[in-house]
Amino acid sequence: MTLRSIFGEGGFSDSEIDRLVYSRDAGDLEGEAMAVVWPKDVKQLHALVGYAKRQDYNLVIRGAGTSLQGGCVPVKSIIVDMSKMNKVLEIGDDFIVVQAGAVLDELNHRLGDKIIPIKPFNHAVCTIGGMVAMNCRGMDVSKGRIGDYVMGVDVVDGTGKYMKLKNPTAKNFVGLEGTTGIIAHVKLKLVSKKEYRSFSIYNFNTLSSMMEKVEKFRGKEEIKSILFFDDLASAMLGFEEKNHIVVEFLGDKGVIKDVKEIERILSFKEVLYHKLRKSRFGQIEDPKIDSDKMAGFLYWLRKKSVPVYGHLCLGVVHPCFKEFSKLPTEMHELVETIKCENASDFGYGFKRKSFLKGEKKVKHKILKEQYDPKDLLNRGKVHE
């Protein structure tokens, strides 16, 4: 049996151009692809893992390839492009079952008054499989992560076993960056588009006055999220050059209640992201900082003139650095020193595996040994 015979004409390529195109993802690392396959169903996935085991090949799974940390970068690997497994298998009143290569926006356009509420910036292209593998968080942070909506997954693991899993076992494939199994199908909970919330925007001349206000809001039941833009990020968004917070209230306590205006507010981060990239602030980080250390951390960034936005209830902030700057390394050292997390949202991939620590590292090792003991899937990623 060969890859060509498993996947047929149009389902397999080892051409130079395809191998080159698939040698990198949205990040800056580059690897070497041996071939690319486009599976259409679970039968082909199962045959592929059997083939890789026998021939001692490793497999790199790919959705839309928007991973920023080298999650889809091959190491003399066969690329498994999931884009042809993009069908909707079932739609119920409050759930949907899809193949993993289905694209988020295309699904939400089909769904009418229900939606999948996690919407990352790359919503127009990212796949459900990629989102689940990364346990993606969207722009609307009070909605949680995609893993909160996963009801079940069908997977082929690194031993070639096909499993139809419900929670809690399904979670062994959520946020594991494709290192435990190839997600073939996903069952997701849907939610109503109707909302009962409102927003208020506040601005501050100093970081300390802003943090005082944030402390007053923190822990209150009606506060769903606090989005923050420092003065540099605010200016890029076209606001006054001051620190801003956008506070989300459950119910109607906030000033802004109009649905269209709320949509505009929720798009601030997406607008900012594109402006930052245009101004060459291409390196966006995602540290998670304890609340008692946040003020000091933000002062440090401001002293270095690093624009930053983030979520003050979650403690997740996004400092934005100029490409090729050495400051991110300085920041990583600072975050280590103050005993906070360096990677909370954008995964570990190749680039950031030294950031995986403690309980998370132990859990990953156990799951890897259970589902992919020969390290066939996404080799060299996440763990050291």
Ligand X SMILES: Cc1cc2nc3c(=O)[nH]c(=O)nc-3n(C[C@H](O)[C@H](O)[C@H](O)COP(=O)(O)OP(=O)(O)OC[C@H]3O[C@@H](n4cnc5c(N)ncnc54)[C@H](O)[C@@H]3O)c2cc1C
Binding site for ligand X (CB under 6 A): 25-26, 60-68, 71-72, 82, 100, 120-122, 126-127, 129-131, 133-134, 136-138, 177-178, 182-183, 345-346, 378
Nearer to ligand X, 77 or 234 (CB): 77
Decide: 149 and 188 in contact? Cβ < 8 Å. yes
- Only one residue has tokens 């050292």, namely 333
Nearer to ligand X, 68 or 211 (CB): 68
Distance in Å, CB of 128 to ligand X, minimum:
8
Q: Which two tokens stand for residue 24?
A: 């990198």
Decide: 77 and 59 in contact? Cβ < 8 Å. yes
For residues 151 and 168, give the distance between their C-alpha atoms in angstroms, rounded to a whole number. Answer: 9
Distance in Å, CB of 106 to ligand X, minimum:
12
- Only one residue has tokens 């199908």, namely 185
Nearer to ligand X, 25 or 248 (CB): 25
Would the CA dihedral through 236, 241, 247, 253 be positive or negative?
negative
Nearer to ligand X, 124 or 366 (CB): 124
Decide: 153 and 172 in contact? Cβ < 8 Å. no
**Helix, strand, or coil here: 99?**
strand
For residues 104 and 126, give the distance between their C-alpha atoms in angstroms, rounded to a whole number. Answer: 6
Interstrand relation of 75-81 and 32-37 (parallel, antiparallel or unpaired): parallel
Interstrand relation of 308-311 and 95-99 (parallel, antiparallel or unpaired): unpaired
Nearer to ligand X, 335 or 377 (CB): 377
Distance in Å, CB of 163 to ligand X, minimum:
13
- Only one residue has tokens 């229900």, namely 114
Nearer to ligand X, 63 or 254 (CB): 63
Identity of residue 42? V
Nearer to ligand X, 13 or 77 (CB): 77
Q: Which two tokens stand for residue 111?
A: 């769904």
Nearer to ligand X, 222 or 375 (CB): 375
Distance in Å, CB of 345 to ligand X, minimum:
5
Distance, first Cα to last Cα, the chain: 33
Distance in Å, CB of 61 to ligand X, minimum:
4
Q: Rounded to the nearest 5°, which phi and psi values hold at 166?
A: -105, 175
Distance in Å, CB of 131 to ligand X, minimum:
4
Nearer to ligand X, 46 or 211 (CB): 46
Distance in Å, CB of 130 to ligand X, minimum:
2
Distance in Å, CB of 235 to ligand X, minimum:
22
Question: Which CA distances in Å does 223 have to 207, 227, 344?
Answer: 20, 11, 22
Which residue in the shown chain puts its C-beta closest to ligand X? Answer: 130
The count of other CB atoms within 10 Å of the CB of residue 72 is 33
Distance in Å, CB of 138 to ligand X, minimum:
6
Would the CA dihedral through 301, 306, 312, 316 be positive or negative?
negative
The count of other CB atoms within 10 Å of the CB of residue 43 is 12
